Structure 1
Amino acid sequence: MYRFLLTRQWVILTLVALLMIPALTWLGFWQFDRHGQRVERNDLIAGSLAAPAVPMSELSSPGAPVDPDDRYRPVTATGVYDQDREVVVRQRSNDDGAVGYYVLTPLLREDGTAAMVNRGWIAAGNDLTRMPEVPAPPGGEVTVTGRLMADESTGTTGIRERQGLPDGMVMMISSEERADALGTQVLGGYLELTATDPAPADEAAQPELLPEPDHTGIGAHFAYAVQWWLFAAGVPVGWVLLLRREVQDRRRAAAKPHSAPGAERENEEEQAPRKAAPAATS
């Protein structure tokens, strides 16, 4: 009865089912791992944002990357803005989805080092080949407070470097690149501005400050994981249902009665007189 399992059709079907079960299971664990990463990231951001502000130099040093555990920590830096050597970072969006620039201005500190400050977002002008109008930073010595951020790279942003950009434009924020351009030591990472002391005379004219990173949403990764695992569990169930239907079809086919050739001839002989009877009465 079960010899049909050795047919080509059923061998292929069984092999596909056996391959799908571990593949779907792996996809479930992959989504579950992404869920764990998202929860861990949210915990890191929430803990960092709640920490007290410390001088940026305590968590960052020239030429050294920012510790991933220190990302989003509130930090402060005191110095004088160098507007002449600020740059804008291309292809950045605000909360409304409008495309523009980040304004990246070096803050020259008393010890001779610089801290890169992302002062916020400005809208793109009509001509993307020319520097936009950038609001001037506050003059004189200021103390800035913001979130400590790690240097960007093609892997973290998905943005590729481009050659031949207009002067004053960059694609990514890199303290090492800015150190080479400035010819001075720059603290690793950068400060994402949240407050300035003393406050600018016209705060409304300053670049739009960036909002806190989202640390509440966890996405649908856990639901996707459960979904893949349900698919994996459904494969053997589906295989068994197909098997049962195949067996039932074969049993029904085997149970159908088959008329013998002699019985067919007898039926024909019995019907022959009946067909001739009406002709005799006429």
Structure 2
Amino acid sequence: MPTLGGVYRFLLTRRWIALHIVVLLVIPAFVLLGQWQFGRYEERSAGSDRTTANLEAPPVPVATLTTAGGAVREQDKYRTVTATGTFDPAHQLLARRRVQDGAVGFYVITPLVTGDGEAVLVNRGWVRAGATADALPEVPAPSSSPVTVTGRLRPAETEESSGIRDLRGLPAGQVMLIDPAVIGEGLPYRLLGGFVELVRQSPEAAAAPAPVPEPEVGEGGGLNLAYGVQWWLFIGVAIGGWVLLIRREAADLKAQADQKSTEKVNA
């Protein structure tokens, strides 16, 4: 029977020691990668559940979830809110580089003045870009009379959350990010934190930009769960392959030793 002092002595050679080290490093790496994917699965599943719950929750006044100069909490993202006021077209902005239905265009951001020196930014929807980079798009005018809007509450955009780089030197009336802290500078009223993604308004507008689609809830991190299981299966593959190589090498060495012994006897 082969032993470390016999056939299995090869396990202590430099080449095999290097292989042992690789396997011993790979196994904890696969464990950590699997744990990371499982963590992402739990995070995305929780995020999907929260988004679904927020979209289905009954509307609440926007002022109950955000304040002037404040911020929207992550757990309130996509909550359905209402706000009543009058649109201020004089301070309307276009948010650049917004893709919808495979086309590049702008979001139309219009302040809704709610009274008491406060307003909330409302994303009224999407319009297609002009024929050239310098051409202004056609933007339906907002309602001039008081309205009540219902929409999805969104936190202020950042480069990290939107994936859009905040550029300077843009044409007048255009922004890259929907950030009330920046947009509110110089306005004659205070902006509530975050913004509202318009779903409907009452009374309805005679014409309006294309509505922003409801967010995709997604599969709740199902791919991350599959990847986590996959990484942990790789642990078994690594160990199984390691054992298989050892047994094959031992079998080859034993066969060579038996052949030499047979040759000596026959000689």
TM over 0.5: yes
Asked if 2 retains the 8 angstrom alpha-carbon contact of 1:131 and 1:167, the reply is no
> What corresponds to 2:74 in structure 1?
68
> What corresponds to 2:116 in structure 1?
111
Q: Secondary structure at the match of 1:90?
A: strand
Please report how far the alpha carbon of residue 129 of structure 1 lies from its aligned counterpart in structure 2 after TM superposition. Answer: 3.1
Q: Are the structure 2 counterparts of residues 181 and 126 from structure 1 closer, same or farther at C-alpha, using a change threshold of 3 Å?
A: farther
Q: Distance in 1 between matches of 2:188 and 2:146?
A: 21
Q: Secondary structure at the match of 2:190?
A: coil
Q: Secondary structure at the match of 1:188?
A: strand
> What corresponds to 2:226 in structure 1?
223
Q: Distance in 1 between matches of 2:139 and 2:129?
A: 10
> What corresponds to 1:90 in structure 2?
96
TM-score by length of 2: 0.92
Q: Distance in 2 between matches of 1:132 and 1:181?
A: 25
Please report how far the alpha carbon of residue 66 of structure 1 lies from its aligned counterpart in structure 2 after TM superposition. Answer: 0.7
Please report how far the alpha carbon of residue 201 of structure 1 lies from its aligned counterpart in structure 2 after TM superposition. Answer: 2.1
Query: Is 1:36 the equivalent of 2:67?
Result: no
Q: Distance in 2 between matches of 1:253 and 1:181?
A: 88
> Identity over the aligned pairs, expressed in percent?
46
Deviations 1:51-71 (A, max 9, x none): 111111111101111122211
Q: Distance in 2 between matches of 1:136 and 1:210?
A: 17
Asked if 2 retains the 8 angstrom alpha-carbon contact of 1:131 and 1:168, the reply is no
> What corresponds to 1:122 in structure 2?
127
Letter in 2 for 1:73: R
Q: Distance in 2 between matches of 1:183 and 1:137?
A: 19
Structure 1 outlier segments of 4+, above 3 Å: 257-260
Letter in 2 for 1:228: W
Q: Distance in 2 between matches of 1:164 and 1:53?
A: 38
Query: Is 1:163 the equivalent of 2:168?
Result: yes
Deviations 1:226-251 (A, max 9, x none): 10110012111110000000000101
Letter in 1 for 2:103: A
Equivalent residue runs for 1:196-215 within 5 Å: 196-202=201-207, 206-215=208-217
> What corresponds to 1:251 in structure 2?
254
CA RMSD for the aligned pairs?
1.7
> What corresponds to 1:79 in structure 2?
85
Deviations 1:59-105 (A, max 9, x none): 110111112221111111111111121111111111x2222111111
Q: Distance in 2 between matches of 1:187 and 1:259?
A: 92
Deviations 1:23-51 (A, max 9, x none): 11111111111111111011111111121
Letter in 2 for 1:211: P
Q: Distance in 1 between matches of 2:152 and 2:82?
A: 9
Please report how far the alpha carbon of residue 173 of structure 1 lies from its aligned counterpart in structure 2 after TM superposition. Answer: 0.7
Asked if 2 retains the 8 angstrom alpha-carbon contact of 1:131 and 1:169, the reply is no
Letter in 1 for 2:210: E
TM-score by length of 1: 0.87
Please report how far the alpha carbon of residue 133 of structure 1 lies from its aligned counterpart in structure 2 after TM superposition. Answer: 2.1
> What corresponds to 1:238 in structure 2?
241
Where structure 2 has 5 or more consecutive residues not aligned to the other structure, the ranges are: 1-6
Letter in 2 for 1:172: L
Please report how far the alpha carbon of residue 126 of structure 1 lies from its aligned counterpart in structure 2 after TM superposition. Answer: 2.0
Where structure 1 has 5 or more consecutive residues not aligned to the other structure, the ranges are: 264-282
Q: Secondary structure at the match of 2:191?
A: coil
Give the count of matched residue pairs.
258
Asked if 1 retains the 8 angstrom alpha-carbon contact of 2:129 and 2:136, the reply is no
Larger Rg: 1
> What corresponds to 1:175 in structure 2?
180
Asked if 2 retains the 8 angstrom alpha-carbon contact of 1:83 and 1:105, the reply is yes
